Structure 1
Amino acid sequence: MQMPLVLPIDDVLDELSDVLAAGNRAVLSAPPGAGKTTRVPLHLLAADWRADQKIIMLEPRRIAARRAAERMADMLSEKVGETVGLRSRLDTRVGPKTQIEVVTEGVFTNLITREPDLPGYAAVLFDEFHERSLDADLGLALALETQGALNEDLRILVMSATLETGRLTDMLGAPLVQSEGWAFPVETIYLGKSQDRLEDQMAQAIRKALAGQTGSVLAFLPGAAEINRTADRLSGLSDDIHICPLYGALSPKAQDEAIRPARNGTRKVVLATDIAESSLTIEGVRVVIDAGLARIPVFTPGSLGAGLRTVRASIANVDQRRGRAGRTEPGVCYRLWHEEENRGLPKAPPPEILATDLSSMLLRLADWGDANPFALQWLDPPAKGQVKAAERSLHQMGLLTEGGQLTKDGQTAVRMPIHPRLARLVIGAQSDADRALAALLAAMMSEVGLGGRQIDVSGRLAGFERDRSARASALKQRARQWAGTKAEPSHQIGEVLAKAWPDQLARVRPGDRKRFQLAGGGGARLPDASPLEGQDWLVIAETAGQSGGDPIIRLAEPVSEAGALKILSVTERAFADYDPKSGKVVARRQKCLGEIVLSETPLQKPDVHVTADAVLRAIRDKGLGILPGAEALRRIQARAMCVRDQMPDALPDFSDEALVDDLDAWLLPILEAKGLQAIEKSGLEEALQVRLGWEHASRLDELAPRNWKSPTGRSILIDYESDQAPLIALRVQDVYGMTHHPAICDGQIPLTFSLLSPAQRPVALTRDLPGFWKGGYRDMRKDMKGRYPKHDWPEDPASAQPGGTRRR
């Protein structure tokens, strides 16, 4: 491969060497195409601190790792496996002379959990860190632990193209080395949206670009399906224009065909996913066409990792894509949206750690020695809810103890480079034939696109068994190793899958053959025209997207009811629903398979726990307003929220959200003690007083009293729910003689007086009584004196006696 003599990164290589000689951490910011991926590792080979130890560089994708290794080896006039080696899940080329190892991020997390001190390695380089994969974040967190506790001489270099480096340098306490890069100007043309399908709009834009521009075209689409449909729309172009798909599931040969320059006299149209944003350089491109879409991970319980959702691409994404047009000469970028829509784009894509299943990460941390992810240093720490969900999943699969330690099965699973559910699939198989089948299924399901796109697992497995590609062959060999047997695979696909997905067993819902109830709770829906429609029982391996509020089933297999009953035990339970209209609980005794109700009979007298559960579920579903004593609750709530608006720390949060989140603490005990009487007025008042506690209840009465005593001795209820709260309504005559306006909350919130005529009609509203006496009262007096002559309307009400009728 002929490389340019000078690249932008060359200007900062000496500075980078000095930084890493003086300290053990650095951040390198360099735009795509600056040359950091190939130049930096080769330059660091000469560093004194390396002392014949290896440099390991992480890449986010297999194709990026392979291409980086091949390019560096070519620069040295060598083959991969000599000075520069490669390690990925399906391709390892490392020899005794290897000094630089280019690895995928998942390979690195496997390596560091097995050898935490990283013996034999002098530096870890995180390339394209801005992509923020889960494995990259985990790898960095573990490398920092290694450096801090086991190998302080280890160098850590984080390289990024677009990431805001301020947070990263602060977190690492590391200096920043900045490469400005070189770029030619790129004209941006907004084509706007149309009502056409995406592939039709993209094909039209490509034809427009080919007719109006020179050079090859790089078009960004969200996924393989859209790429293949767009390629179909472009059939019939001239013979000198070659259409080249580019996505991760393609063979290395097909990927290389897309990346290499177009032959003399020809042009190339590369249809790519975001794989071409920064990790790869495609020669000869001067036109970019961007659909403005991206696929991001979305946590999907019960599936393999995260599902993918198509969203608007971020500013960082579209800017990187645009820059691809100006690598070697001035270029053009066509965007399939309107320019004003840029204002609504997110700044950057969300880190994967915030949106994906964390069970693989927790399993690795348990192998590392500490399953608590919050003990590590993260740029973005994982969400507590997702950590809990992952822990629960690993416990259910028998891979992790309650104390966070690996079980015997967990120790086996963590050595298998696949999702824990797939490892559980293999480990849980009983017979040699079932284990052979399970291993084959695990291998197929570990790679996107293998076996085809059929919704039924058996259909995909047949496609996988027919596949003779290098990728499929390598995975079949892995499957034989995992199975540890030469037995022929069994045909019990549904039952074998159900052992790994017992919570994903599903029965069709009555009255709708597309909707299914899952044993683990919730539902799922078959897509339209699915070959699985008509099945009574399924085991669901993957869902994505939603329809009618339910996730859409993307991969499943039929299973018999007898097969389902072998996996889960039938249980009996009492279950009830609370009906807010009648105020009653309707109960029944159910036979269940997980959350699937097999049969039920009426239950006349449910116990207090069943009743309490019914009420709490109804509240969580429909809100506190369904309770018969809701008015009493609202009065106390309004008083408390009035105080908190002025004095946030004076009382606990009494919002609906806070009360519902805390139901088990304040309402459940009195429900179990008093039954449905607990949600009547007196019961709710008692429960809320308990939630407040004596000290806070006294403070509430002090700061927001229920009543106010007028000068005439009347006790008047304060309305805290009004728009003018706190509000009291009383006759004008009741406040004669008052020269100061009353207030609550230690004098911070004045009461609103709704002053009434003798006929009890509002005639004035004030929060400043002394000011009212001097102003608005005079006009009101003229009117009222004529209407109600028997009542007292003094000229100076501030000095008058409170009372009712005119003095004699």
Structure 2
Amino acid sequence: MDDVIPSIVQSLRRSPNVVIEAPPGAGKTTRVPPALLEFGPVLVLEPRRLAARMAARRVAEEMGEPLGETVGYQVRFETVVGPRTRLRFLTEGVLTRRLLADPDLRGVSTVVLDEFHERHLDGDLALALLFRLQRRRPEMRIVVMSATLDGEALSRYLNHCPVIRSEGRLHPVEVSYRPQSAAPLEEQVRDAVIETAPESDGHILVFLPGAAEIRRALDCCEGVARRFGLALYPLHGDLPAEEQDRAVLPCAGRKLILSTNVAESSLTIEGVSAVIDSGLARVARDSPWTGIASLDIARISKASAAQRAGRAGRTGPGRAIRLYPREDFVRRPDAEAPEIARRELSGLLLTLAAMGQDVDRLPWLEAPPEPAVRAARGLLDLLRAWPRAADLAALPVSPRLGVLLLEGGAGAAPVAAGLSLGENSGGVDVLEWTVAGLSPHARRLCDQLRRLAPDPAPLPVEQALLRAFPDRVARRRGDRELLLAGGGSAFLPAAASSLAGRPWLLAIDVEGRRERGLPLVRAASAIEPEWLLDHFPDRLTERSGVEWNRSAERVEAVSALLYGSLTIEESRSGAVDPTAAAALLATKAIESGVERFTDPASLTALLARCSFAASYADLPVPSVEDALRSACAGLRSFAELRQIDIPGLVLAQLSPVQRCLLDEIAPERLRLPGGRLARIHYEPGKPPWLASRLQDFFGMRESPRVGRGQVPVVLHLLAPNQRPVQTTTDLAGFWERLYPRLRRELGRRYPRHRWPEDPLRPEAETS
């Protein structure tokens, strides 16, 4: 970088802004900031605490001074500065809180945004705020340094400022890939170390996603490290400073360093000649359930993979082994999406509100998505956070957990720290979480939150949890299932014994895994329904109307007090609205089936008769559902409905003229010559038919017809024993051809009955 520093300084004399592009390890973090001191005090923003601390130490050493003199750093839990400090390395979140206290950054001449290509949310916010501040302080300089970002786009954003590039001193790196493997990641790392160690004369740097994976790999690689004479070191942000130093600082022998992506671009480890890349990193994502950030394992981009491999080529030719196939690499995105495009934004909006800034008016490099902004505003409305924006923004936790801390005081700190860092320190019931169950990092956060918490606490912790998670109210259904106020269900693990018998809960957080098809609750707390009335009366709704009593099969009046979709109180008394009762009764009757309320055979026959008639005239086919709805008027129960003549109501849908036409086309009965009225049967898919004794047809010459004379009725001619002797639609042919033979047979079998020779003579019945 030394060759371009004069150009950087010269450019800043002419322009307030400069973009610097240089690969990892080029020296931009340690060489550029000291050169800017000629303009006045400098702030350098680093994306990670470890990078800020190591960079400050390195610059101080090069100046020949102890930390805290000219050079210092400020990160969460740790500040090393003095009255003469002019070059200060700090994390992006620390700058945001400083801007809250001092919006003009008085006494600061230059702000450097290092590793901006990582596009953290705080980094984008810092750039937008600084660019806005430049309007009031045009003498303040902004320097953006990046390893891979498109410098021209940044230049256009910063009023077409100069872009200065340094190629660094990278040597060739041989990259190889490994087939997909089902072996545990730590075993894949061990095998790659065995392959690499004999060929490498420098340090071996292994990239793993997080501290848990590093711990497993440490155990797995311990024997291999001894075998090849490698000093084995972990490197991640949660380690004590002295352990981080041992991994990074020079030593006499060779090292095997197991690191997170902190060594990808934020700091340089001299002497690395081989890199083993898992292709994974822990990426900040926001839980859709809690809205709290968590670090989830994800595949890195091509740009990150290139930076990791480049770490092996700083001092000479190197080698990089990627523990995944080449085809996997080809399918990866070119770069990670900026956090502003994928993160939950309530914390961002709250910070801006505390500064008196509007998210829509800030000059963003890339504006946050409007749906995410709307969702964040809705959450802050729900939390009633706007009036307390300044207090909440000053806390190093999400708005939800800030509300928990401000309402619950120091007693809420263990829960807030555990939830903030995704740690479960005491089972499902968060009220059982203790400081002792937290990791060292979470304990430091807990201590910090206790110092910031109000004393005395306005509310007990369990009620403060409700204020922080009002949209996570749940009511137990059965032993372990929870109905959620926002709809849907979740499932309590069997281990949640302390919550047994508590009908009302907060389902604070859930896991991705499921039980009985429902998401599994991993953090919860018991509440009382009265608290909902005390704290959120505006979220309560009253509902009155009618409901169906399934066991009694009747409509009942009901009035209820609800929180979301959950019923807090319910009363089943009072007058029933007749219109609503009739509508609900009809709906339930239709669902149950009309056969429960009338003889299905007679109703089917009526509908078939109407359908038959509609084929020969412009007649409607009545609706059973309409008849049921009509029948339900003034009724409340199935018992009452069974007393109603449903077929009569079906027929009543026809006008008098239409009913006359129905009787004409499809008569219900036919008078036979013997005087008997016989029913004509109409069935779906069958011709009309009637059945009567053979003697009833004496004197009838032709078969009767319906359907305006177009359809002969099928006649079932019955013997005295009521069994058919003939089925026909041709009565004349029957008399002529079959009756003479049947007459003799019937006469023998039924001698007491008269069987005339001529069945068509009017006197046949009496002869």
Query: Given the two structures, how large is their TM-score scaled by the length of structure 1?
Result: 0.64
User: Counterparts in 2 of 1:160-239, with a 5 A limit?
Assistant: 160-172=146-158, 173-210=160-197, 213-239=200-226
Alpha-carbon separation, structure 2, partners of 1:275 and 1:524:
37
Check 1:474–1:283 CA distance in 2 against 1; reply closer, same or farther (3 A cut): same
Alpha-carbon separation, structure 2, partners of 1:94 and 1:170:
35
Match of 2:410 in 1: 436
Once the two structures are overlaid, the 10-residue window that deviates more, 103-112 or 131-140, is 103-112
Q: How many residues align?
A: 569
Three-state SS of the structure 1 residue aligned to 2:223 is coil
Check 1:553–1:141 CA distance in 2 against 1; reply closer, same or farther (3 A cut): farther
The answer to whether structure 1 residue 29 and structure 2 residue 21 are counterparts is yes
Alpha-carbon separation, structure 1, partners of 2:494 and 2:189:
26
**Deviation by residue 1:184-217 (Cα, 9 ceiling, x = unmatched):** 1111111121122333333333343335544322
Match of 1:616 in 2: none
Alpha-carbon separation, structure 2, partners of 1:293 and 1:193:
14
Check 1:189–1:376 CA distance in 2 against 1; reply closer, same or farther (3 A cut): same
Alpha-carbon separation, structure 1, partners of 2:336 and 2:449:
34
* AA matched with 1:374: D
The answer to whether structure 1 residue 518 and structure 2 residue 494 are counterparts is no
User: Counterparts in 2 of 1:638-677, with a 5 A limit?
Assistant: none
Instruction: Determine if contact 2:211/2:236 at 8 Å carries over to the other structure.
Output: yes
Match of 1:483 in 2: 454
Three-state SS of the structure 2 residue aligned to 1:121 is coil
Instruction: Determine if contact 2:435/2:443 at 8 Å carries over to the other structure.
Output: no
Instruction: Determine if contact 1:451/1:463 at 8 Å carries over to the other structure.
Output: no
Match of 1:254 in 2: 243
Three-state SS of the structure 2 residue aligned to 1:349 is coil
The answer to whether structure 1 residue 457 and structure 2 residue 430 are counterparts is yes
Alpha-carbon separation, structure 2, partners of 1:606 and 1:135:
60
Alpha-carbon separation, structure 2, partners of 1:145 and 1:195:
51
Instruction: Determine if contact 1:443/1:479 at 8 Å carries over to the other structure.
Output: no
Match of 1:82 in 2: 69
Instruction: Determine if contact 2:545/2:577 at 8 Å carries over to the other structure.
Output: no
The answer to whether structure 1 residue 595 and structure 2 residue 595 are counterparts is no
Instruction: Give the drift of 1:280.
Output: 1.4
Alpha-carbon separation, structure 1, partners of 2:319 and 2:49:
29
Alpha-carbon separation, structure 1, partners of 2:298 and 2:25:
26
The answer to whether structure 1 residue 502 and structure 2 residue 470 are counterparts is yes
Three-state SS of the structure 2 residue aligned to 1:11 is coil
**Deviation by residue 1:277-310 (Cα, 9 ceiling, x = unmatched):** 1001123322211111233333434525434443
Alpha-carbon separation, structure 2, partners of 1:162 and 1:587:
67
Instruction: Give the drift of 1:183.
Output: 0.9
Three-state SS of the structure 1 residue aligned to 2:94 is helix
Query: Given the two structures, how large is their TM-score scaled by the length of structure 2?
Result: 0.67
**Deviation by residue 1:594-613 (Cα, 9 ceiling, x = unmatched):** 333457799987999xx9xx
Match of 1:539 in 2: 506
Instruction: Determine if contact 1:455/1:555 at 8 Å carries over to the other structure.
Output: yes
Check 1:376–1:477 CA distance in 2 against 1; reply closer, same or farther (3 A cut): closer
Three-state SS of the structure 1 residue aligned to 2:216 is helix
Instruction: Determine if contact 2:410/2:449 at 8 Å carries over to the other structure.
Output: no
The answer to whether structure 1 residue 393 and structure 2 residue 376 are counterparts is no
The answer to whether structure 1 residue 39 and structure 2 residue 31 are counterparts is yes
Match of 2:752 in 1: none
**Deviation by residue 1:99-127 (Cα, 9 ceiling, x = unmatched):** 11111101111222332222111111100
**Deviation by residue 1:566-604 (Cα, 9 ceiling, x = unmatched):** 655664436999xxxxxxx99986553333345779998
Instruction: Give the drift of 1:474.
Output: 7.2
Instruction: Determine if contact 2:463/2:531 at 8 Å carries over to the other structure.
Output: yes
Alpha-carbon separation, structure 2, partners of 1:380 and 1:445:
30
User: Counterparts in 2 of 1:257-336, with a 5 A limit?
Assistant: 257-261=246-250, 263-265=251-253, 267-301=254-288, 303-336=290-323
Match of 2:90 in 1: 103
Match of 2:543 in 1: 573
Instruction: Determine if contact 1:38/1:68 at 8 Å carries over to the other structure.
Output: yes
Alpha-carbon separation, structure 2, partners of 1:244 and 1:357:
35
Instruction: Determine if contact 1:494/1:538 at 8 Å carries over to the other structure.
Output: no
* AA matched with 1:412: D
Check 1:572–1:210 CA distance in 2 against 1; reply closer, same or farther (3 A cut): farther
The answer to whether structure 1 residue 380 and structure 2 residue 366 are counterparts is yes
Instruction: Determine if contact 2:385/2:392 at 8 Å carries over to the other structure.
Output: yes
Alpha-carbon separation, structure 2, partners of 1:464 and 1:358:
30
Alpha-carbon separation, structure 2, partners of 1:554 and 1:329:
49
Larger radius of gyration: 2
**Deviation by residue 1:754-789 (Cα, 9 ceiling, x = unmatched):** xxxxxxxxxxxxxxxxxxxxxxxxxxxxxxxxxxxx
Instruction: Determine if contact 1:278/1:320 at 8 Å carries over to the other structure.
Output: yes
* AA matched with 2:33: P
Instruction: Determine if contact 2:238/2:441 at 8 Å carries over to the other structure.
Output: no
**Deviation by residue 1:207-233 (Cα, 9 ceiling, x = unmatched):** 433355443222222222222222233
Alpha-carbon separation, structure 2, partners of 1:22 and 1:607:
80
Instruction: Determine if contact 1:129/1:160 at 8 Å carries over to the other structure.
Output: yes
Alpha-carbon separation, structure 2, partners of 1:273 and 1:531:
37
Alpha-carbon separation, structure 2, partners of 1:542 and 1:107:
28
Instruction: Determine if contact 2:46/2:115 at 8 Å carries over to the other structure.
Output: yes
Once the two structures are overlaid, the 10-residue window that deviates more, 436-445 or 585-594, is 585-594
Check 1:100–1:543 CA distance in 2 against 1; reply closer, same or farther (3 A cut): farther
Three-state SS of the structure 2 residue aligned to 1:357 is coil
Pick from 113, 138, 141 the counterpart of residue 152 of structure 1: 138
Three-state SS of the structure 2 residue aligned to 1:503 is helix
Instruction: Determine if contact 1:300/1:543 at 8 Å carries over to the other structure.
Output: no
How much is the aligned-residue C-alpha RMSD, in angstroms? 3.7
Instruction: Determine if contact 2:413/2:446 at 8 Å carries over to the other structure.
Output: no
Instruction: Give the drift of 1:92.
Output: 1.6
Instruction: Give the drift of 1:142.
Output: 0.5
**Deviation by residue 1:610-636 (Cα, 9 ceiling, x = unmatched):** x9xxxxxxxxxxxxxxxxxxxxxxxxx
Alpha-carbon separation, structure 2, partners of 1:589 and 1:208:
74
Match of 2:674 in 1: none
**Deviation by residue 1:736-757 (Cα, 9 ceiling, x = unmatched):** xxxxxxxxxxxxxxxxxxxxxx
Alpha-carbon separation, structure 2, partners of 1:575 and 1:375:
47
Alpha-carbon separation, structure 2, partners of 1:509 and 1:219:
49
Instruction: Determine if contact 1:439/1:480 at 8 Å carries over to the other structure.
Output: no
Check 1:41–1:551 CA distance in 2 against 1; reply closer, same or farther (3 A cut): farther
